[in-house]
Structure 1
Amino acid sequence: MWDNSYEEILRRHLPFLSDEEELESETNLRDYGLDSLAMVELLSAIEGFYGTRLAEDALTLETFETAGSLWRALDASLQTAN
């Protein structure tokens, strides 16, 4: 599973996810307000915080579909960097 920083960054970009709601791997990000502009902002925040860049082939709507799919792409990027 992901770390607390990932969840904090993700929550800041999901305006319709309340503080009481649990963020799960299957949580659909678009259902909670992640639109195309927010995707770009989220990508920038994640890459800046973790000091990595997601692979170009990971920059798809499918990657940004759920919290889990985005984490897997980020984790793969971090593993490649190490």
Structure 2
Amino acid sequence: MTTTPVTTWDADFETTLRGFLPFLDPSEALTASTSLRDYGLDSISTVGLLAELEERYGVTFPEEALDLANFESPGILWATLQSAR
């Protein structure tokens, strides 16, 4: 499943995502193309992030959305979340 990244998202998404990025300084901007892996999102934290997003937004990601490519950047992840809503 290929998802087109978006450049804006809500504050809850950013707050949730930042909680899973230990190497992202609080003063540093989170952009649509920020590499989530470069800022500390590993396979274990991806599972936690997935569960948190599903609970916060009341969605279940479809199986085809569980590709690691959908967790590469905030823009792609937000678009994936929106398509699951």
Identify whether the pair has TM-score above 0.5, normalized to the shorter chain.
yes
1:30 and 2:37 correspond: yes
Give the equivalent residue in structure 2 for 1:55.
Answer: 62
Deviations 1:7-48 (A, max 9, x none): 000000000001000000000100000000000000000000
Alignment of 1:14 onto 2:29: no
Matched residues in 1 for 2:18 and 2:12: separation?
Answer: 10
Q: Does residue 68 in structure 1 map to residue 82 in structure 2?
A: no
TM-score by length of 1: 0.93
Structure 1 residue 54, shift from structure 2 partner: 1.1
Structure with more contact order per residue of length (Cα contacts < 8 Å, sep ≥ 6): 2
Aligned residues: 78
RMSD over aligned Cα, in angstroms?
Answer: 0.5
Shift in Å, 1:5:
0.1
Task: Pick from 68, 73, 77 the counterpart of residue 84 of structure 2.
Answer: 77
Q: In 2, Cα distance between the equivalents of 1:61 and 1:34?
A: 11
Normalising by structure 2, we get a TM-score of 0.90
- Paired letter, 2:16: I
Matched to 1:60, the amino acid is: D
Q: Unaligned regions of 5+ residues in structure 2, if any?
A: 1-7
Q: For structure 1, list consecutive stretches of 5 or more residues without a partner in the other structure.
A: none
